[in-house]
Structure 1
Amino acid sequence: MEDTLTNPPLGTPAPASRKRHDLLLFAAVLGGLLLFNFIAQRFFFRLDLTEEKRYTMSPATKALLRGLKQPVTITVYLTGDFPPAFRRLEQGVRETLTEFQVYGGANLSYIFIDPSAAGTAAARNQFYASLFKKGLKPTNLGATENGKRVEKIIFPWAVVSVGGRDRNVLLLRGNQAAPPEVRLNQSIEGLEYELASTIRSLVPSLRKRLGIVEGHGELTNVQAGDMLSTWQQQYDVYRVTLSKVPDLRALDAIVVAQPKTPYSEDDKFKLDQFITQGGRALFFVDALRVNLDSVSRNGAALATPYNLNLEDLFFKYGVRLNQNLLLDLNCGQIPLVTGMEGNKPKIEPMPWQLYPLINKFSPHPITRNLDAVYLKFTGNLDTVKAVGIRKTPLLTTSRYTRVLPAPVPINFNDARLEPNPKLYQKGFQPVGYLLEGQFTSLFANRARPGTLQFQPEKSPQARPSKLVVLADGDFIRSEIDPKTGNPFRLGFDRLANTEFANRELVLNATDYLLDETGLIAVRGKQITLRPLDKVKLAEQRRRWQLLNLGAPLALLGLFGAGRAWRRKRRYARFAT
Structure 2
Amino acid sequence: MDATTQPTAALAAPAASRKRQDLLRFAAIIGALLLLNFVAQRFFFRLDLTEEKRYTMSDATKKLLSNLKQPVTITVYLTGDFPPNFRRLEQGVRETLNEMQVYGGGNLNFIFIDPSAAGTEEGRNKFYNTLFKKGLKPTNLGANENGKRVEKIIFPWAVVQAGGQTRNVLLLRGSQVASPAERLNQSIEGLEYELASAIRQVAPPGGAKRRLGVITGHGELTNPEMADILTAWSQNYDVFRVDLNQVKDLRGNLDAVVIAKPTGPYSEAEKFRLDQFITHGGRAMFFVDALRVDLDSVSRNGAALATPYNLNLDDLLFRYGVRLNPDLLLDLNCGQIPLVTGMTGNKPKIEPLPWQLYPLINRFSPNPITRNLDAVYLKFVGNIDTVKAAGIHKTMLMSTSRYTRRLPAPVPINFNDARLEPNPKLYKDSYQAVGYLLEGTFRSLFANRAIPGTTQYQPDQNPNAAPSKILVISDGDFLRNDVDPKSGRPFRLGYDRLSSTEFANRELILNATDYLLDETGLIAVRGKQITLRPLDKVQLADKRQGWQVLNLGAPLVLLAAFGAVRAWRRKRRYARFT
Could you tell me how far 1:24 is from its partner in structure 2? 2.2
Counterpart position of 2:212? 210
Counterpart position of 1:309? 312
Counterpart position of 1:86? 86
Conservation of the 8 A alpha-carbon contact between 2:72 and 2:203: no
| CA 570–147 in structure 1, closer or farther in 2 if over 3 Å, else same | same
| CA 568–304 in structure 1, closer or farther in 2 if over 3 Å, else same | same
Counterpart position of 1:229? 231
Cα displacement string for residues 457-488 of structure 1 (whole angstroms, at most 9, x for unaligned residues): 22333111000000000001011111111211
Counterpart CA distance in 2 for 1:252 and 1:344 is 54
Counterpart position of 1:321? 324
TM-score, normalising length: structure 2: 0.97
Counterpart CA distance in 1 for 2:151 and 2:120 is 22
Conservation of the 8 A alpha-carbon contact between 1:290 and 1:377: yes
Counterpart among 336, 341, 353 of residue 339 in structure 2: 336
Structure 2 portions without partners, runs of 5+: none
Bigger mean CA offset, 283-292 vs 65-74: 65-74
Q: Output the amino acid matched with 2:37.
A: N
Counterpart among 352, 362, 366 of residue 365 in structure 2: 362
Structure 1 portions without partners, runs of 5+: none
Q: Output the amino acid matched with 1:76.
A: V
Are 2:358 and 1:349 equivalent residues in the alignment? no
Size of the aligned set, in residue pairs, is: 573
Give the secondary-structure state (helix, strand or coil) at the position aligned to 2:225.
coil
Counterpart CA distance in 2 for 1:544 and 1:47 is 30
Counterpart position of 2:245? 243
Conservation of the 8 A alpha-carbon contact between 1:289 and 1:306: yes
After the TM superposition, which residues 115-154 of structure 1 pair with which residues of structure 2 at under 5 Å, given as runs?
115-154=115-154
After the TM superposition, which residues 494-573 of structure 1 pair with which residues of structure 2 at under 5 Å, given as runs?
494-573=497-576
Bigger mean CA offset, 40-49 vs 430-439: 40-49
Give the secondary-structure state (helix, strand or coil) at the position aligned to 1:224.
helix
Bigger mean CA offset, 154-163 vs 120-129: 120-129
| CA 426–25 in structure 1, closer or farther in 2 if over 3 Å, else same | same
Counterpart position of 1:280? 283
Counterpart CA distance in 2 for 1:379 and 1:80 is 47
Could you tell me how far 1:12 is from its partner in structure 2? 6.3
Could you tell me how far 1:565 is from its partner in structure 2? 2.2
Are 2:268 and 1:269 equivalent residues in the alignment? no
Counterpart CA distance in 2 for 1:5 and 1:363 is 86
Could you tell me how far 1:495 is from its partner in structure 2? 1.3
Give the secondary-structure state (helix, strand or coil) at the position aligned to 2:412.
strand
Are 2:181 and 1:178 equivalent residues in the alignment? no
Cα displacement string for residues 44-97 of structure 1 (whole angstroms, at most 9, x for unaligned residues): 111111111101111111111111122111111111111110000000000001
Bigger mean CA offset, 301-310 vs 122-131: 122-131
Could you tell me how far 1:143 is from its partner in structure 2? 1.7
Counterpart position of 2:40? 40
Could you tell me how far 1:568 is from its partner in structure 2? 2.8
Q: Percent identity?
A: 76
Conservation of the 8 A alpha-carbon contact between 2:374 and 2:503: yes
Conservation of the 8 A alpha-carbon contact between 1:323 and 1:405: yes
Cα displacement string for residues 235-261 of structure 1 (whole angstroms, at most 9, x for unaligned residues): 111011111111212011111000000
Cα displacement string for residues 375-397 of structure 1 (whole angstroms, at most 9, x for unaligned residues): 00000100000000000000000
Give the secondary-structure state (helix, strand or coil) at the position aligned to 2:182.
helix
Conservation of the 8 A alpha-carbon contact between 1:4 and 1:574: no
Counterpart position of 1:51? 51
Give the secondary-structure state (helix, strand or coil) at the position aligned to 1:36.
helix
Counterpart CA distance in 2 for 1:515 and 1:551 is 53
Counterpart position of 1:189? 189
Give the secondary-structure state (helix, strand or coil) at the position aligned to 1:28.
helix
Q: Output the amino acid matched with 2:395.
A: T
After the TM superposition, which residues 443-454 of structure 1 pair with which residues of structure 2 at under 5 Å, given as runs?
443-454=446-457
Bigger mean CA offset, 499-508 vs 102-111: 102-111
TM-score, normalising length: structure 1: 0.97
Counterpart position of 2:482? 479
Counterpart CA distance in 2 for 1:453 and 1:26 is 87
Q: Output the amino acid matched with 1:241.
A: D
Give the alignment's Cα RMSD to 1 decimal.
Answer: 1.6
Bigger mean CA offset, 192-201 vs 537-546: 192-201
Counterpart CA distance in 2 for 1:389 and 1:256 is 21
Are 2:394 and 1:374 equivalent residues in the alignment? no
Conservation of the 8 A alpha-carbon contact between 2:399 and 2:434: yes
Counterpart CA distance in 2 for 1:362 and 1:288 is 26
Could you tell me how far 1:455 is from its partner in structure 2? 1.5
Counterpart CA distance in 1 for 2:514 and 2:73 is 23
